[in-house]
């Protein structure tokens, strides 16, 4: 391993962007620990374990399982330079149509799993006074105006907020943080086997139903985002001396982010007088 090579810990690497990222990292000589629900899924997707590649069977909702994975990675490779919280899934369903179980399971993977990883990894990064945390959100974690995607949007908004707070919290230790907002990426993310659809659907919500039909029909398999290029963008952001806190990925993501920023500024300007009138008059 060259002096410039890094040691990565990547969750959800058996498919999609995570798989592409790990393959590219290994090809350039980095060392990578990856997680999935089974080691078999990782070795089938990426290859056998080696001095460069450590596949780990991890239940991201189990505190001890995550702790053991972090400890095994450090025992094997000596340290961790980059953490990529990539594991996640989309939950579709109206707010009143989602069950408590569906909602909490979505947050368990999309938000609480990254939190668990960080709770067990940050002490090591703090001690070595270096590291980079990359949390994979979604453009719906910045611009969430899509009917029927409230659970997914909320979990990804929360992950973005967590990353912002984390960046402020760990900067003094030389640790960096980046939240990635991809637009639609051409993986199996929206396939019928990967997308969770609420068991209880509300027929009156025509916009939510239309959005589901669009994502399962016209959009799936035709997403503009290239997962290989997205993986390259993540690597590029980690390699630079001054990485971005907010990284939007794709033309669509940039356009939607700009629209959201303009809409927020419009509301600020329109209500500025009334808003500032709520302060005490000293």
Question: pLDDT digit string (tens) for 94-123?
Answer: 999 999 999 999 999 999 999 999 999 999
**Residues present in the chain in total:** 282
The pLDDT of 124-152, averaged and rounded, is: 96
Global confidence as pTM: 0.93
> Is 44 within the bounds of a domain?
yes
Tokens of 227: 């997962």
> Is 247 within the bounds of a domain?
yes
CATH number at residue 64: 3.40.50.720
State the residue range of the domain holding 251.
7-89+105-189+224-270
112-149 burial code (b ≥16 CB/10 A, e <16)? bbbebbbebbbebbeeeeebbbbbbbbbbbbbbebbbb
**How far are the Cα atoms of 5, 134, 136, 153, 173 from residue 109, in angstroms, in the given order?**
29, 16, 12, 13, 27
Cβ neighbours around 225 below 10 Å, total: 21
> Is 234 within the bounds of a domain?
yes
pLDDT of residue 274: 98
pLDDT of residue 190: 56
> Is 13 within the bounds of a domain?
yes
pLDDT tens sequence across 59-105: 999 999 999 999 999 999 999 999 999 999 999 999 999 999 999 99
Count of structural domains within the chain = 1
Burial (CB < 10 A; 0-12, 13-18, 19+), residue 167, is middle
- Residue that is written with structure tokens 């001054």 in the block: 242
d(CA 13, CA 36): 6
> Is 218 within the bounds of a domain?
no
> Is 280 within the bounds of a domain?
no
> Is 141 within the bounds of a domain?
yes
Would you name the residues annotated as active-site residues? 152
> Is 212 within the bounds of a domain?
no
d(CA 266, CA 28): 46
Beta bridge partners of 134: 84, 178
């Amino acid at each position: 391993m060259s002096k410039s090579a890094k040691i990565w810990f990547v969750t959800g690497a058996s498919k999609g962007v995570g798989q592409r990222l790990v393959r590219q990292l290994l090809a350039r000589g980095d060392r990578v620990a990856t997680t999935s629900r089974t080691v078999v899924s990782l070795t089938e997707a990426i290859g056998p374990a080696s001095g460069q590649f450590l596949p780990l069977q991890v239940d991201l909702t189990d505190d001890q399982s995550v702790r053991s994975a972090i400890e095994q990675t450090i025992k094997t490779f000596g340290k961790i330079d980059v953490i990529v919280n990539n594991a996640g899934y989309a939950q579709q369903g109206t707010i009143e149509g989602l069950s408590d179980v569906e909602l909490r399971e979505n947050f368990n993977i999309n938000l609480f799993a990254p939190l668990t990883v960080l709770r067990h990894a940050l002490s090591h990064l703090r001690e070595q006074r270096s590291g980079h945390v990359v949390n994979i959100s979604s453009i719906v974690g910045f611009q969430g105006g899509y009917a029927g995607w409230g659970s997914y949007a909320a979990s990804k908004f929360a992950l973005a907020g967590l990353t912002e707070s984390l960046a402020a919290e760990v900067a003094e230790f030389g640790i960096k943080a980046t939240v990635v907002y991809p637009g639609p990426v051409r993986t199996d993310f929206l396939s019928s086997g990967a997308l969770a659809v609420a068991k209880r659907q509300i027929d009156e919500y025509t916009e939510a139903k239309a959005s589901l039909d669009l994502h399962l029909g016209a959009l799936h398999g035709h997403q503009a985002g290239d997962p290989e290029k997205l993986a390259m963008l993540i690597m590029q952001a980690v390699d630079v001396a001054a990485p971005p806190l907010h990284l939007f990925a794709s033309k669509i993501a940039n356009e939607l982010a700009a629209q959201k920023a303009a809409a927020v500024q419009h509301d600020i300007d329109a209500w500025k007088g009334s808003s500032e009138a709520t302060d005490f008059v000293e």
